[in-house]
Amino acid sequence: MSNVISDGDEVQIDGSFLTKGDLAPDFALCGSDLETKTLGDFQGKRKVIATVPSVDTEVCASESLKINDLAIAYPSVYFLVVSKDLPFALKRFCASTSLHNIVPLSDLRTRSGFGKNYGIKIASGALDGLLARSIILLDSGDKVVYSELCSDIKQMPDFEALQKALEE
């Protein structure tokens, strides 16, 4: 279990955050079309999994826009943005911000253990149950090649480091 900062307070994160060399566990998440999506649905390509507490916050919205820009620059990579937001909210957010290059996924209804399995489920404080902010880059075989768990919920990930990892 690790800790991150949320509004100046330390909060616990449930599970062990994935690090370089780990094999990503499968997941069952809800797409904006209300269909269940698994890691297997994104086979054969590298994947960036960006987790955010909610797209309804300024930092998460800004991060999603940056992820979309990366998706345009790297069309051979899947870019997944995962939160606990309702699939309807994710669909509306993507439409209102013209985000057409990311795959929005919700961990709300599937109860797959995604947050704990990936070591990003906030387990204390006001955001208990939501997902911490993180970036995980998987190779085409679903092995972690880069990962970052943001030490502060309001802090953006290191996009330069992610872009460097995408170039390798």
CA-to-CA separations, 144 to 13, 63, 87, 132, 139, in angstroms, rounded: 19, 21, 26, 18, 6
End-to-end, the C-alpha distance of the chain in Å comes to: 30
Catalytic residue flag (residue 94)? no
Structure-token pair, residue 10: 């330390």
Q: List pLDDT tens digits, range 112-163.
A: 689 999 999 999 989 999 999 999 999 999 999 999 999 999 999 999 999 9
Closest CA to 134 of 144, 126, 124: 144
Q: List pLDDT tens digits, range 82-120.
A: 999 999 999 898 888 888 899 999 998 766 689 999 999
Q: List pLDDT tens digits, range 32-68.
A: 999 999 999 999 999 999 999 999 888 888 999 999 9
Residue 45: CB atoms within 10 Å: 13
Among the listed residues 30, 60, 94, 150, the single catalytic one is 60
C-beta of residue 131 within 8 angstroms of C-beta of residue 51: yes
Phi, psi of 72 (to 5 degrees): -65, -40
